[in-house]
Amino acid sequence: MDDLLTVSDLEVGFQTDRGLARVLDRVNFHAGRGEIVGLVGESGCGKTTLARAILGVLPENSARISAGVIDFDGRDLLAEDPQALATEVRGRQITFVPQDPFSSFNPVFTIGAQIEELMKWKSPESEPGAAGRFYPRARRRSDRARVLELLRTVQLPDPDGILKKYPHEVSGGQRQRLMIAMALLPEPQLIIADEPTTALDVTIQAQILKLLKRLATERGVSVLFTTHDLGTAYEICDRITVMYAGQEVESAPSDDFFAAPRHPYTKRLLESLPSREHGISGIPGQIPALIDPPAGCRFHPRCANASARCAAARPGVTQTGPAHRVRCHHPVDAAREAVP
């Protein structure tokens, strides 16, 4: 598949009081056109930092991008003029669905006013950069029709009425539907959804996942879906990349990934999920501090398969199957593991 987004050897650090925290350590990542890619990892693994780096919204005063390339549709997002990216790419080619639909609306404006503001700047009919200061009446009318149609598509009851409401007057599930609608309105090529269902109840989560999957497939939009929940990733993703302590450790097509995880961390993570078959088993130890991470493979202090080589050298990428890549010196042998 021809890739829409390729991140290669990206290094991001955060300046803290106690030194530089190396939050992303030469991370590689890619997303194909129309593909839903899950970026999975526990808190502090760097998944949100990667999502923000792609979006270009890392905090300017503390984040340092020291190396790497983010290639999006043939453009190098780290080398280009930030102003051009802000008008042409961010919010237009790449849009964002936040984790928390509660704090992502401005409480003092109606939902309609906030969507209108979005369309004034980022409507697919508008000229990048030229728009904003004034909003031609004809375009305002056609944009409104487009908004109403999309609100119906995301199954919001009474789209006209909802535009007149304030954010606190609609439920969490509806707010997340609105967020998805707003992410789709500029007709982007890539949606970055940062834990979009974490704040929702399971039945609402199921509805939102179903909706996101359907819309992304229908419209051929790529989705970068970050989550800490492997179950959610299973539901929606075509391919899954797992991160641990700032390094990507495994990447594989969803079916292959869940059937035969190859990285010891991934395997233990899957076993941590409560299930009937293997009881409850956690991963001993703790996530390392990123100020002074372990040398070599960052997982080696907690890994049962670790050898001296793991502490000395950072493992390279091993191709263990078609499109299945794992960063480990001793990948789990699926065939051998299957026979107890």
Binding site for another protein (CB under 8 A): 42-43, 171, 173-174, 201-207, 209-210, 213-214, 228-232, 234-236, 258, 268-270, 272-276, 279-284, 286
Nearer to another protein, 37 or 77 (CB): 37
Nearer to another protein, 115 or 212 (CB): 212
Rounded to whole angstroms, how far apart are CA atoms 174 and 161?
13
Which residues neighbour 283 within 8 Å (Cβ) at sequence distance 6 or greater? 265, 268, 269, 272, 302
Nearer to another protein, 63 or 211 (CB): 211
Nearer to another protein, 43 or 319 (CB): 43
Nearer to another protein, 186 or 196 (CB): 196
User: Smallest gap, in angstroms, from Cβ of residue 95 to another protein?
Assistant: 21
Rounded to whole angstroms, how far apart are CA atoms 318 and 286?
26
Rounded to whole angstroms, how far apart are CA atoms 21 and 31?
26
Nearer to another protein, 79 or 202 (CB): 202
User: Smallest gap, in angstroms, from Cβ of residue 12 to another protein?
Assistant: 21
Q: Which two tokens stand for residue 256?
A: 């292959």
Rounded to whole angstroms, how far apart are CA atoms 85 and 88?
5
User: Smallest gap, in angstroms, from Cβ of residue 281 to another protein?
Assistant: 6
Rounded to whole angstroms, how far apart are CA atoms 259 and 338?
11
Q: 121-140 b/e with 16+ CB inside 10 Å = b?
A: bbbeebeeeebeeebeeebe
User: Smallest gap, in angstroms, from Cβ of residue 286 to another protein?
Assistant: 7
User: Smallest gap, in angstroms, from Cβ of residue 203 to another protein?
Assistant: 5
- On whether the CB atoms of residues 70 and 7 are closer than 8 A, the answer is yes
Nearer to another protein, 72 or 257 (CB): 257
User: Smallest gap, in angstroms, from Cβ of residue 169 to another protein?
Assistant: 11
The DSSP call for residue 40 is E
Q: Is 106 helix (H, G, I), strand (E, B) or coil?
A: coil
- On whether the CB atoms of residues 272 and 257 are closer than 8 A, the answer is no
Nearer to another protein, 128 or 172 (CB): 172
User: Smallest gap, in angstroms, from Cβ of residue 75 to another protein?
Assistant: 32
- On whether the CB atoms of residues 305 and 264 are closer than 8 A, the answer is yes
Rounded to whole angstroms, how far apart are CA atoms 205 and 208?
5
192 forms bridges with which residues in the sheet?
Answer: 96, 224
Rounded to whole angstroms, how far apart are CA atoms 67 and 13?
10
Rounded to whole angstroms, how far apart are CA atoms 237 and 44?
21
Nearer to another protein, 132 or 285 (CB): 285
User: Smallest gap, in angstroms, from Cβ of residue 290 to another protein?
Assistant: 14
Q: 46-78 b/e with 16+ CB inside 10 Å = b?
A: bbbbbbbbbbbebeeeebeeeebebbbeeeebb
User: Smallest gap, in angstroms, from Cβ of residue 1 to another protein?
Assistant: 21
